[in-house]
Amino acid sequence: MKTIKTLLLMVAITFSSVLFAATAPKTEAPSSLNEEIAKLLKNPQFEVEQDVQAIATITINKNNEIVVLSVDTENDEFKNFITNRLNYNKVSSSLVSESEHYIVPVRLTKK
């Protein structure tokens, strides 16, 4: 009986430490922020040969500017396009907080 209690205590301590060590989940950007990002990414200066997708992780700094943390895509030209167009552009959205990281899916379609 003592062994079972000890084993349960060890399991409880292990799970509680894992739960507290987990990082805060990233949240999806609010729709108003998505609309502003869509405006910034319109009219690329390069030919789109096929549909391209990316997942951008961004945050907002204290000056209400977008800071691109990462862009997950295999296309380097598209990655540079997203980073150059979004980085340090002001947003007027008041729904975003500066301490959160947002996940923004980006898709560029062939016309």
pLDDT 10s digits, 59-75: 888 888 899 999 999 88
- 3-state SS assignment for residue 13: helix
Q: What is the mean pLDDT of residues 69-84?
A: 91
Residue 33: per-residue pLDDT: 81
Task: Output the pLDDT for position 23.
Answer: 54
Residues comprising the chain, all counted: 111
Residues 5-59: tens digit of each pLDDT: 776 667 667 766 655 555 555 555 667 788 888 888 888 877 777 888 899 999 8
77 pLDDT band (50/70/90 cuts)?
A: confident
Say how far apart CA 3 and CA 63 lie, in whole Å.
57
Q: Residue 27: beta bridge partners?
A: 102
Its pTM surpasses 0.75? no
User: How many angstroms separate the CA atoms of 80 and 101, rounded?
Assistant: 20
The two three-digit tokens of residue 49, written as one number:
């040969």
From CA 111, how far away is CA 100, in angstroms rounded? 34
DSSP H or E stretch at residue 55: strand 52-60
| Structural domain spans, the chain | 26-108
Give residue 110's identity as a one-letter amino acid code: K
